[in-house]
Amino acid sequence: MVAFRFKHVCLESFAISTPPTEVSSAEIEDRLSGVYQQLGIPFGTLERLTGIGSRRLWDASERPSGLGTNVVRQAIDNSGLADKDIRALFSCSVTRDFFEPATGCIIHRNLALPEDGIALDISNACLGFMDGLYFLGQLIESGIVKAGVVVSAEHTRVILDNAFKNILEGKDLPRDKLLRLLPTFTIGSGAVAYVLTHESISKTGHKILGGATRSATEHCDLCVGNTDYHLVDGPPLGPVMETESSKLIAAAAVLGQRTWKDASEALEWTKDDVDHIFCHQVGRQVNEAFYNTLGLDHTKEFTIYQNRGNLVSAACPTATAIGIEQKGIKQGDKIMMTGFGSGLNSLFLGIQW
CA 244 to chain centre: 19
pLDDT for 175 beyond 90: no
* Residues 46-102: tens digit of each pLDDT: 899 899 999 999 999 999 999 999 999 999 999 999 999 999 999 999 999 988 899
The whole-number pLDDT of residue 162 equals 86
231 vs 274, residue with greater confidence = 274
- Among residues 10, 92, 126, 223, the one annotated as catalytic is 126
Active-site residue, 126 included: yes
The whole-number pLDDT of residue 231 equals 55
Residue 94's Cβ-side half-sphere holds a number of Cα atoms within 13 Å equal to: 29
* Residues 284-342: tens digit of each pLDDT: 777 777 888 889 999 999 999 999 999 999 999 999 999 999 998 999 999 999 999 98
pLDDT for 235 beyond 50: no
Q: Give residue 265's identity as a one-letter amino acid code.
A: E
Angle between helices 64-79 and 103-111 (to 10 degrees): 50
* Residues 105-152: tens digit of each pLDDT: 999 999 999 999 999 999 999 999 999 999 999 999 999 999 999 999
% of the chain beyond a pLDDT of 90: 71
Note the pTM of the prediction, 2 decimals: 0.94
Q: What is the CA radius of gyration of the chain?
A: 20
pLDDT for 251 beyond 90: no
Q: What own/partner pairs with CB < 8 Å and gap ≥ 24 does 26-32 have?
A: 28/185, 31/164, 31/168, 32/164, 32/167, 32/168
Q: Which residues contact 96 (CB under 8 A, 6 or more apart)?
A: 64, 102, 103, 121, 123, 228, 229, 230
User: For 285, left (φ over 0), alpha (ψ -120 to 50), or beta?
Assistant: alpha
The whole-number pLDDT of residue 119 equals 98
Domains of the chain: 1-353 (3.40.47.10)
Q: Dump strand ranges (E) for the chain.
A: 2-5, 9-17, 21-24, 54-57, 88-91, 118-121, 147-154, 190-198, 207-215, 223-225, 241-243, 276-279, 301-302, 334-341, 345-352
pLDDT band at 238; cut points 50, 70, 90: low
Active-site residue, 100 included: yes
Residues in the chain: 353
* DSSP annotation of 124: B
- Among residues 100, 169, 265, 288, the one annotated as catalytic is 100
CA 328 to chain centre: 23
* Alpha helical stretches, state H, 173-314: 175-181, 245-267, 288-294, 305-308
